Amino acid sequence: MLIKKPAEISSSEITPAHIYHERRRFLRDAIAAGIIGAVPGLTPAEAAVLPSSGKLAGVRKGSVTIVDKVTSYKDVTTYNNFYEFGTDKSDPASNARGFRTRPWTIAVEGACRRPAVYQLEDFVRPYALEERIYRMRCVEAWSMVIPWVGFPLAEVLKRAEPTSRAKFVEFTTLHDPEQMPGQRPGLLGTGLDWPYVEGLRLDEAMHPLTILAVGVFGEVLPNQNGAPLRLVVPWKYGFKGIKSIVRIRLVERQPLSSWMQAALHEYGFYANVNPRVDHPRWSQARERRIGEDGLFSAKRETLMFNGYAEQVASLYTGMDLRKYY
């Protein structure tokens, strides 16, 4: 094969950038759709995340799962909390239909040796996608069982090489009132300041149960579920699962999350599922499983740490879990 040096290549021989990127996009979409076979240089993870909708390719079954019945696709994708698109459970599915998730960038910054700003494709490319079936518990006393597709957040943080100053991880959602009607002044009355911010302790973020999700039910993550990238921490209440992430920042001090800023007496930093600590306005001892438990049927008992106590309780040894709620 003849290899030319840069000085020997004329400008007419150089493929224009837009053609190169369109070709790559075509190949990735074709692989994901099963139209053509594997192409050298394109990994399954790279091909899987590029389609803006439809099935993800190269997804493996994860080692972490549960035996509970999976909540229906319809319930998972139409009964959502995503205040950027409205406060009613049906609002996100209706109001997020035209939400644009391409192009998308994610900044990884702060107390790390390798800060960077990534295009979504480059951000996800190094990681193998796997399905994790997790119980998810909302602070409003309802729950679901959801088959997420994603990869461990720990891998992203290791790639960034945190410094000794990194003690917490702060996440930020896209701020775009034109696309997100809930971010426009005067519409929600939630008291939230935008953009939405959440945080984890570094060891919580590094725990193998903590993932970044790009899909659900083997398909690209729907807009109303936090496309194109969201956090999933299955032992915490749902408001910790920040959606449509654009920034991941390693910090020294505990971040002030959006719900802490709005209502600290109701929403603490840790947000661990603890059925013995009631929300100020309702009990957390029992819950309703969406799609299984009717409005008038007996609710099921809520499990400590949402059923993941064996895996995560050691993170909180010596802490007063009634105080650090």
Q: Are strands 130-137 and 60-61 parallel, antiparallel or unpaired?
A: parallel
One-letter amino acid for residue 1 of the chain: M
pLDDT of residue 298: 84
pLDDT, one tens digit per residue, over 217-261 is 999 999 999 999 999 999 999 999 999 999 999 999 999 999 999
pLDDT surpassing 70 at residue 163: yes
Helix (H, G, I), strand (E, B) or coil at 250: strand
What is the percentage of the chain residues whose pLDDT exceeds 90?
73
Q: How many residues does the chain have?
A: 325
pLDDT, one tens digit per residue, over 96-139 is 999 999 999 999 999 999 999 999 999 999 999 999 999 999 99
Tokens 């005067």 correspond to what residue?
186
List the single range of 46-50, 133-137, 151-155, 212-216 with lowest mean pLDDT.
46-50
* Domain at 59-316: CATH code: 3.90.420.10
Which has more pLDDT, 263 or 11?
A: 263
Mean pLDDT along residues 272-292: 95
Mean pLDDT along residues 127-154: 96
What is the percentage of the chain residues whose pLDDT exceeds 70?
82
Give bridge partners of residue 219 from the DSSP assignment.
55, 216
In terms of Cβ atoms closer than 10 Å to its own Cβ (0-12, 13-18, 19+), residue 310 is exposed
pLDDT of residue 180: 96
| Cα distance between residue 290 and residue 274, in whole Å | 19
Query: ∠250-254-256 over CA atoms, to 5°?
Result: 105
Q: Helical H runs in the chain?
A: 17-33, 44-49, 73-78, 91-95, 120-124, 153-160, 202-206, 258-263, 309-312
Other CB atoms within 10 A of residue 319 CB: 11
| Cα distance between residue 128 and residue 120, in whole Å | 14
Query: What's the first-to-final CA gap in the chain, in angstroms?
Result: 64
pLDDT surpassing 80 at residue 81: yes
HSE toward the beta carbon, residue 231, CA cutoff 13 A: 31
pLDDT, one tens digit per residue, over 28-78 is 444 443 433 333 344 444 444 456 778 999 999 887 667 799 999 999 999
Where in the chain are all domains bearing CATH 3.90.420.10? 59-316
